[in-house]
Amino acid sequence: MNINKNQQPQQYSIGLQRAKHFLLAGCIATALVGCSSTPLTKTAEMERAEHTIARAEQARVGQYASNELAQARLKLQSASSALLNMDTVSADRYAIEASLEAELAQARAEVGTSQ
């Protein structure tokens, strides 16, 4: 078995070179992901929807309009998902729909308590 002394270090240097390239690529990828994933803040419509839903929950509208209140919560979740996908237009649309559902729940509860 004849091993050339120059051949063995060359194999190791190629392996080290590849490891350095993978490490460098990993560092670059991590830096890019860190820069591109700045969290978005809630839109004004989302905050309004949260406030409207909270008011409806405090008014205990669940016994008269539980379906509408559940729909409002689902639409607010959809708004949050859209915001995570950086789709602020859809986030606002879902938030507006959530607010309207919560207001409808409050109106139905008022009608239910007045009867």
Tell whether 21 and 51 lie within a shared domain. Answer: no
Tell whether 25 and 67 lie within a shared domain. Answer: no
Tell whether 84 and 51 lie within a shared domain. Answer: yes
Tell whether 17 and 69 lie within a shared domain. Answer: no
With CA atoms as reference, report the closest residue to 73 among 100, 98, 52, 42.
98
Q: Give a yes or no: residue 39 inside a domain.
A: no
Tell me the per-residue pLDDT of 25-66, one tens digit each, with 9 for 90 and over.
555 655 555 554 545 688 899 999 999 999 988 888 877 888
**Residue range of the domain that includes 84:** 44-114
SS3 4: coil
pLDDT at 50: 93
Q: What's the total number of domains in the chain?
A: 2
Q: Give a yes or no: residue 61 inside a domain.
A: yes
Rounded distance between C-alpha atoms, residue 105 and residue 75, angstroms? 14
Instruction: Report the predicted TM-score, pTM, of the whole model to 2 decimal places.
Output: 0.64
Tell whether 56 and 93 lie within a shared domain. Answer: yes
